[in-house]
Amino acid sequence: MSNTFKIIVLAGAYVSFILGAGTATGQEIMQFFVSFGYLGIGAIIIAAVLHMWFGAYAMDVGVRLKAEDSKDVFVYFCGKYLGLFFYWFSQLFILVVFIVMISGAGATISEHFDLGDVIGRAFMAILVLITALLRLNTIIKILGIAGPIIVVFSVIVGAGSFDPAGFSKSGEIINGINLSTATSNWWQAGFVYSSFVLLVALPFLANLGKGEIKRKDVIIGGSVGGLIMLVGVFAIYIGILSNIEQLHTKDIPTLFLADQISPALGLFFSIILLVAIYTTAVGMLWTVSTQFSKGNSHKYRIITIVLTIIGFFGGLFPFAKIIDFVYPIVGYIGLILIAGMLYRQFINKGKIGIKTLETLGLNKNIN
């Protein structure tokens, strides 16, 4: 596999993992960025810089640490006790996000195909379960290919829905409607959005890096993945903001935008949304199952099936409500993890070697 293709696959896998139901449907973007009007652009820029940084850095540490357990990665960044807290907290939140994906699938299928959310949740849960039982290499290839496709169609729907007249009036309209906001200030939104993404992405990114040899590939792949992700976010942002008066009550605002452009595009984009949900849900399920199975394939299958059942029944909760309540809280907690990573990279820059790992209680010798 050439270096260029490897970088594309890594970037695509990163994008697919985090560009799931909340982002591709527009719910996260509406609450974190659109709710602040034009200032949301500043929040997106902050988030873009952070996504590019931690995408590259987390995969690079994965290459060098070669941790068998993502617990080691959290301990490396935050120390033994705080690292253990973040490890367990991230596993719990990843499971919550998995439930959000299943709920999002139900909402998408119910809103566009009118088949009911139970059928949508069951369909997605079964598909994700089958995929998660496959090998990691297969999962990474699926994620790597799907990521760029999801972004392209998100840009088409978002940019294609841009209305200069609606955009110019959006600030006034937002002041007159009851729109949920994830944080109290626009600049906080960029940090909080990135920190909750980091909490779920860190184990996956470290695992991606662990399987690679060349640090340059993962650093570029992580940076490109973070940038591509936020290009898609910005396109959806301007599309929603231009049409906020019609969209502020919608569970799936991007699907409404696609329908407005063309019914055919709406149908196709509903499938793209399901692909986005599917790729993220697969990554979430695989990450948690891998951590708790500890390499035991029988245990992995049992845990995967149990978590899928939990995700199906947990998906009964309303999609938008889960995002509104859970994501901002987790985002604020995740800021501590960002601080730990910044400290480790820019202040305590020690190489990952015997002394560093023994101090942290890890037993690996990395060059």
Does pLDDT of 1 surpass 70?
no
Across the chain, what does the average pLDDT equal? 82
Does pLDDT of 279 surpass 80?
no
195-237 pLDDT, tens digit per residue, is 988 888 888 888 777 766 678 888 898 899 888 888 888 999 9
Q: Which amino acid is at 343?
A: Y
Q: What is the rounded CA–CA span in Å between residue 314 and residue 226? A: 29
Q: What is the rounded CA–CA span in Å between residue 348 and residue 54? A: 16
The reported pLDDT for the residue numbered 142 is: 63
**307-312, long-range: CB < 8 A, 24+ apart:** 307/95, 307/98, 308/125, 308/128, 308/129, 308/132, 309/125, 310/95, 310/99, 311/95, 311/98, 311/99, 311/101, 311/102, 311/125, 311/128, 311/281, 311/285, 312/102, 312/121, 312/122, 312/125
Residues above pLDDT 70, as percent of the chain: 88
Q: What angle do CA 300, 305, 306 make, to 5 degrees?
A: 100
pTM confidence score: 0.81
The reported pLDDT for the residue numbered 34 is: 93
Residue 121 CA, chain-centre distance (Å), reads 19
Does pLDDT of 357 surpass 90?
no
Does pLDDT of 2 surpass 80?
no
The reported pLDDT for the residue numbered 354 is: 41
Going by C-beta distance under 8 Å and a sequence separation of 6 or more, which residues neighbour residue 22? 28, 100, 104, 323, 327
288-318 pLDDT, tens digit per residue, is 888 788 778 889 889 999 999 988 888 777 7
- Residue 260 in tokens: 């407005």
Residue with the larger pLDDT of the pair 75 and 16: 75
Over residues 228-255, the mean pLDDT reads 87
Residue 365 three-state SS: coil
DSSP string computed for 145-160: HHHHHHHHHHHHHHHH
Does pLDDT of 278 surpass 60?
yes
Q: Which amino acid is at 248?
A: H
Residue 298 three-state SS: helix
The reported pLDDT for the residue numbered 355 is: 43
Name the pLDDT band for 365 (thresholds 50, 70, 90). Answer: very low
* Percentages of the chain per state (helix, strand, coil), in multiples of 5: 85, 0, 15
Q: What is the rounded CA–CA span in Å between residue 313 and residue 317? A: 8
Does pLDDT of 367 surpass 60?
no
The reported pLDDT for the residue numbered 244 is: 92
Over residues 105-116, the mean pLDDT reads 77
- Domains in the chain and their CATH numbers? 3-176+183-359 (1.10.4160.10)
Does pLDDT of 360 surpass 70?
no
DSSP string computed for 167-235: HHHHHHHHHTS----SSSSHHHHHHHHHHHHHHHHHHHHHHHHHT-S-HHHHHHHHHHHHHHHHHHHHH
How far are the Cα atoms of 28, 53, 68, 108, 186 from residue 46, in angstroms, in the given order?
16, 11, 32, 29, 10
Over residues 306-333, the mean pLDDT reads 81
Over residues 326-351, the mean pLDDT reads 85
35-80 pLDDT, tens digit per residue, is 999 999 999 999 999 999 998 998 888 888 877 777 888 998 988 8
Over residues 149-168, the mean pLDDT reads 87
Going by C-beta distance under 8 Å and a sequence separation of 6 or more, which residues neighbour residue 349? none
Name the pLDDT band for 185 (thresholds 50, 70, 90). Answer: very high
The reported pLDDT for the residue numbered 230 is: 83
Contact 197, 274 (CB under 8 A): no
Name the pLDDT band for 140 (thresholds 50, 70, 90). Answer: low
Q: What is the rounded CA–CA span in Å between residue 166 and residue 164? A: 6
The reported pLDDT for the residue numbered 114 is: 74
